[in-house]
Amino acid sequence: MARYLGKETTRVDGIAKVTGKAKYTAEFQVPHVAYGFLVLSTIAKGRITAIDTREAEQTAGVVRVFTHLNAGRLGKAPAAGELPQWSWPLQSDRVFFNGQPIALVVAESYEQARHAARLVKVAYQAEPHNTNLETVLDRAQLDSRNPKPRGNPAAALQAAPVKVEAEYRIPINHHNPIEPHAAIAFWEGDQLTIFDKTQEVYSVQKHLAEGLGVPADNIRVVSPFVGGAFGASLKPNYYPSLTAMAARELKRPVKVVYTRTQMFTGHGYRPHTVQKVTLGTDARGKLQALVHEAFHNTSSFEPFSDATTRFVTQVYACPNLNAPLKVAAVDLATPTWMRAPGAVSGMFALESAMDELAYALKIDPLELRLINYAEVDPDSGKPFSSKALRECYRLGAEKFGWKNRNHEPRSMRDGKLLVGWGMASSVWGAMQMPASARVTYRADGTASVASATSDIGPGTYTVMTMIAAEFLGLRLDQVHFELGDTRQPRAPAQGGSWTTSSVGSAVRGAALTITARLLELANRDTGSPLQGVDASSVEMLDGRLRVKNEPAHSVEIAEVMRRTGTTEITEVYDSKPSPEREKYASLAHGAQFVEVKVDPDLGTVRVTRVIEITACGKILNPLASHSQEIGGVVWGIGMALEEATEIDHRTGRIANANLQHYHVPVNADIHAIETIFVEEDDTIVNPLGVKGMGELGMVGIPAAIANAVFHATGKRIRDLPITPEKLL
C-alpha cells in the first residue's frame, strides 16, 4: 500500500515560494555586482556602420559599453572569407533580426545602465528583409525528421467518395513566464559560477564552455527555481554567454535581466504555422487517406523544427498517410519549443479537419473518432504499452452530457447567446530519458536526494521527495531534495514531459539499491531474521527493514548501521529506458469536451465549461496533476481566443512586445474546468508507470474550442486566434 504515491500532496517548496525564501535567478546576492542593460537593433537585416557610445560612457555610474567593436571573443571566429553568423552576441556588425542585442551597457546600478542604454547612437546600412512566412512557402525545405509516408495517399484520395480539404493558420505565440530571463556571472580565477534561468543546467555549461573556450569542469551553473519557462529556457539563450563575457572582461560580477519587451526576441517563440489537411473516407466515415502538409518559419541563421506533424501519424487508423513538415527561413529570431510543441499546432489542424469531416458525413464528431480508433500504433504496427483513450471518450461524453447535443450548427441557445459544444482528442509521447540521482541515507533516519533537473513549476521538488520517501520508508519531512546545479548528477532538460519518468526512475533506483545494501549489512549477522530473503522481497518502512507483507520479519535499520559502523549510505543511480519498451508504442492520450457561448451581436466568445479527460499512466500526485491539466486548458484557451504576436513586416519589428497588447487569459476569461484522470497500469513505460502530462493538457483544447465555435455560429474559423471580428 503506497504511503505517498497516488495521494494528494501539497508542495514541499510551497511555503518557500509564498514567503520569498525561494531564490530566483536575479535574486541571488553577489557582492560588488554590476548591472547590464541590453541595447537592441531597430532594423531586421543589414549591418551596423557606426555605433557611438561616447555619451553613454560619460554618464554617471557607467562602467563600460560593450559592442561588437570591443566585446570579448565568444565562440570560434568565422573562417576567412566566411560571412559571420549570429550564433554568439556582439561578435560582428551583422544584424539578422529586429531586436537583436547590439550593445550591453554595464553600470553600478540598473537605473544608470538603463538610462545610458538610451544614449547609444547607432547607424545602419539596412538590407531588404522578409519576416512573412506566407511569402516564402515555395522556399520551404523538407524537415529531415519527417514521419515516413504510409501506403499511397494520392491514389486513395482520388478513390475516396467523401473528401474534405482545408488550410489552417496559427500565428507566432510567445512564452511570457512571470520570471524574466536573467543571469548573474562571477569569476574566481578561471572558475566561472553563473546563476541562470534555465531548464537544463548541463546544456548551459556545455554552451558556455564552447563560447568562452574554457573546460566545462570550470563552469558551475546554478538554477534552483524557475518562475515558469515551458520551453523558453530549453536551449541556452544568448544572455548567459554575454553576462559571463562581460564579467570576465570587467573582472567583477555582472547581472543581466531582460525587460518584458526584450523577452520577445530573447528566447524564441512558437513558430508561425500554415497547414493544409486533406481527408478522404468511405461512405461510412472510415479514413482511407490523410494528407497533412505543414509549414513553419525558422530564422535565416539557424534551422529549427517543432516537428508539427510528428504525432498526427499515430492518432487514427488510416492505411494511406503523408504528413510532411517544411520549414522556411525568414528574418526573425529563431523559434523554439513552446508547451506541447508541434503537437498542439498539428492537432489543431487535424482535429478541426475531423470536425469538418463529421459535418460533411453528417455524423457525430465523437462517433467519427470511434470509427477510426487505432487499436495498435498505425505507424509501427506495434501494440500500445497502454491506451485508455476509448475510456476517456466514454467518460468525457457522459460527464459533459454529449448525448444531448443537437448536431445542427446554431441550434442551441442560452437566451440570446449561441451555445456550441465541441470536442477533440489529444496525444503526447510517453518518453523516458537517461537520468542520474544521488541518494544519501543516514543512520538518524534522514535522507538527502539530488539530481541536476529543473523545476519550472510542475512540482518536481515535491514528486521527487514523495518518490524518495516512498521507497526509503521515510516521512516527507525526513527527505531533502535538491536540483538545478551542475555539481549534482546529470539529468535531462525539463521538457517533453519526461522529468518524473526519467529522474523519478533514477531516485527510485537509488533508493532500492540502498535497500539492497542494508539487507546485505543486516545479513552479516547470522541470526538476522532476513537471512535467505531476496532484496526485491524487502522494504524500508519507519526505520525498519522488513519482509513485504510480513512485518514480524524485520530489523531496525539504525541498529544495523550502528553495528556495522555505517553512518550513512550513498548511492548514485543511472536510470535508462528498458529495452522492453522497444516492442511497444508508448503515448499519453486525452479527450476534451468544450462548451462556448457566443454573443451574436458582439462576436465575443466565452469558454463556459471544459471537461478534460486524461490517460497518462499512474498519477503520483493528483493535487499537482489536476493543477497541471487546468493550466494546460487555460493556455489552450489563450492560444484559441487571444494570443498572437503581431509583426510589422515593413520593419520586421514585433508591434505588441508587452503584456498590454499581447493578450493572455485573465481570471475573468476562465470559467468551469474539470479535469479527470483515467489511470493506466503500464508496467512497460518505466518502473513508476508514469507518462508525461504537462504538455498533453493543452494539445486538443484550441481545436475543441474552434469546433465548439463552429457548432455555435456555423462559422468555421481556421486562423487562430478566434477574435470577435472574425465572427462578425
Report strand pairing: 479-482 vs 447-450: parallel
Alpha carbon separation from 74 to 30, 210, 335, 353, 434 (Å, rounded): 24, 8, 22, 47, 30
Average pLDDT over residues 4-26: 97
298 belongs to a structural domain = yes
DSSP per-residue string spanning 659-694: TTTS----GGG--EEEEEE-----SSS-TT-B---T
The C-alpha cell at 281 is 473516407
**Same domain membership, residue 475 and residue 384:** no
Would you call 199 exposed, middle or buried from its count of C-beta atoms within 10 A (0-12, 13-18, 19+)?
buried
**Same domain membership, residue 449 and residue 393:** no
Characterize 264-302 residue by residue with b for buried, 16 or more Cβ atoms within 10 angstroms of its Cβ, and e for exposed: bbbbbbbbbbbbebbbbbeeebbbbbbbbbbbbbbbbbe
Backbone dihedral angles phi then psi of residue 456, each to the nearest 5 degrees:
-85, 10
**Same domain membership, residue 523 and residue 587:** no
Alpha carbon separation from 507 to 438, 456, 639 (Å, rounded): 7, 19, 36
The C-alpha cell at 534 is 531476496
H or E stretch covering 113? helix 110-117
64 belongs to a structural domain = no
Report the pLDDT value the prediction gives residue 16, as an integer from 0 to 100. 96
C-alpha 136/C-alpha 132 separation (Å) is 7
- Bridge partner list, 219: 192
- Bridge partner list, 365: none
Report the pLDDT value the prediction gives residue 27, as an integer from 0 to 100. 97
Whether 68 and 100 have beta carbons less than 8 Å apart is answered as: no
202 belongs to a structural domain = no
- The letter for the amino acid at 503 is V
Which of 525, 547, 576 marks a domain boundary?
576
Coil vs helix vs strand at 415: coil
Whether 256 and 38 have beta carbons less than 8 Å apart is answered as: yes
Is pLDDT above 90 for 80? no
- The letter for the amino acid at 528 is S
Whether 428 and 692 have beta carbons less than 8 Å apart is answered as: yes
484-505 pLDDT tens trace: 999 999 999 999 999 999 999 9
Backbone dihedral angles phi then psi of residue 57, each to the nearest 5 degrees:
-70, -25
Whether 70 and 106 have beta carbons less than 8 Å apart is answered as: no
Coil vs helix vs strand at 166: strand
260 belongs to a structural domain = no
H or E stretch covering 472? helix 460-472
**Same domain membership, residue 486 and residue 343:** no
Backbone dihedral angles phi then psi of residue 468, each to the nearest 5 degrees:
-65, -45
Characterize 653-689 residue by residue with b for buried, 16 or more Cβ atoms within 10 angstroms of its Cβ, and e for exposed: bbebbeeeebbbbeeebbeebbbbbbbbebebbbbbb
114 belongs to a structural domain = no
Which of 576, 594, 610 marks a domain boundary?
576
Instruction: Enumerate residues 6+ apart whose C-beta is below 8 A from 680.
Output: 386, 387, 388, 615, 616, 617, 618, 689, 691
Average pLDDT over residues 664-679: 97
**Same domain membership, residue 457 and residue 488:** yes
Please report, rounded to a whole number, the percentage of residues in the chain having pLDDT higher than 90. 97
695 is catalytic: yes
Is pLDDT above 90 for 264? yes
308 belongs to a structural domain = yes
Report the pLDDT value the prediction gives residue 147, as an integer from 0 to 100. 87
Q: 571, 595, 680, 695: which one is catalytic?
A: 695
Backbone dihedral angles phi then psi of residue 464, each to the nearest 5 degrees:
-70, -35
**Same domain membership, residue 704 and residue 635:** yes
Alpha carbon separation from 55 to 62, 117, 249 (Å, rounded): 10, 10, 21
Alpha carbon separation from 709 to 152, 608, 610, 669 (Å, rounded): 34, 12, 14, 16
Whether 90 and 102 have beta carbons less than 8 Å apart is answered as: yes
- The letter for the amino acid at 702 is P
Q: How confident is the model at residue 481 (pLDDT cuts 50, 70, 90)?
A: very high
Coil vs helix vs strand at 702: helix
486 belongs to a structural domain = yes
**Same domain membership, residue 449 and residue 547:** yes
The C-alpha cell at 442 is 543516514
Q: Minimal CA–CA distance to 424: which of 509, 346, 532, 517?
A: 346
Length of the chain as a residue count: 728
**Same domain membership, residue 511 and residue 398:** no
The rounded mean pLDDT for the chain is 97
Report the pLDDT value the prediction gives residue 83, as an integer from 0 to 100. 79
**Same domain membership, residue 659 and residue 545:** no
Is pLDDT above 70 for 227? yes
- The letter for the amino acid at 282 is D
H or E stretch covering 209? helix 201-212
518-574 pLDDT tens trace: 999 999 999 999 999 999 999 999 999 999 989 899 999 999 999 999 999 999 999
Alpha helices of 524-607 — where are they, by DSSP H? 557-563
Terminal CA-CA length for the chain? 57
Q: For the chain, what is the domain count?
A: 2
H or E stretch covering 203? helix 201-212
Report the pLDDT value the prediction gives residue 304, as an integer from 0 to 100. 97
Q: For residue 509, give the CATH number of its domain.
A: 3.30.365.10
Please name the residue that has the C-alpha cell 541590453: 38
Which of 535, 554, 576 marks a domain boundary?
576
H or E stretch covering 504? helix 499-522
Dihedral-angle region of residue 152 (phi above 0 means left; psi in -120 to 50 means alpha; beta otherwise): beta
Alpha carbon separation from 230 to 224, 233, 592, 620, 688 (Å, rounded): 16, 7, 21, 21, 23
Report the pLDDT value the prediction gives residue 1, as an integer from 0 to 100. 61
pTM: 0.97
Report the pLDDT value the prediction gives residue 520, as an integer from 0 to 100. 97
Alpha carbon separation from 565 to 167, 378, 522, 526, 562 (Å, rounded): 71, 58, 12, 17, 5
**Same domain membership, residue 589 and residue 710:** yes
How many degrees, rounded to 5, is the angle at CA 226 between CA 670 and CA 26? Answer: 120
**Same domain membership, residue 543 and residue 458:** yes
Dihedral-angle region of residue 658 (phi above 0 means left; psi in -120 to 50 means alpha; beta otherwise): beta
Domain of residue 511, residue span: 433-576
Please name the residue that has the C-alpha cell 504537462: 694
CA-derived radius of gyration, the chain: 28
Q: Minimal CA–CA distance to 198: which of 174, 245, 232, 247?
A: 232
573-595 pLDDT tens trace: 999 999 999 999 999 999 999 99
599 belongs to a structural domain = yes
Asked if residue 721 has a cis previous peptide bond (ω within 30° of 0), the answer is: yes
Whether 724 and 604 have beta carbons less than 8 Å apart is answered as: yes
DSSP per-residue string spanning 223-255: -S--S--TTTTTS--HHHHHHHHHHHHHTS-EE
Please name the residue that has the C-alpha cell 524487502: 538
32-61 pLDDT tens trace: 999 999 999 999 999 999 999 999 999 999
**Same domain membership, residue 447 and residue 374:** no
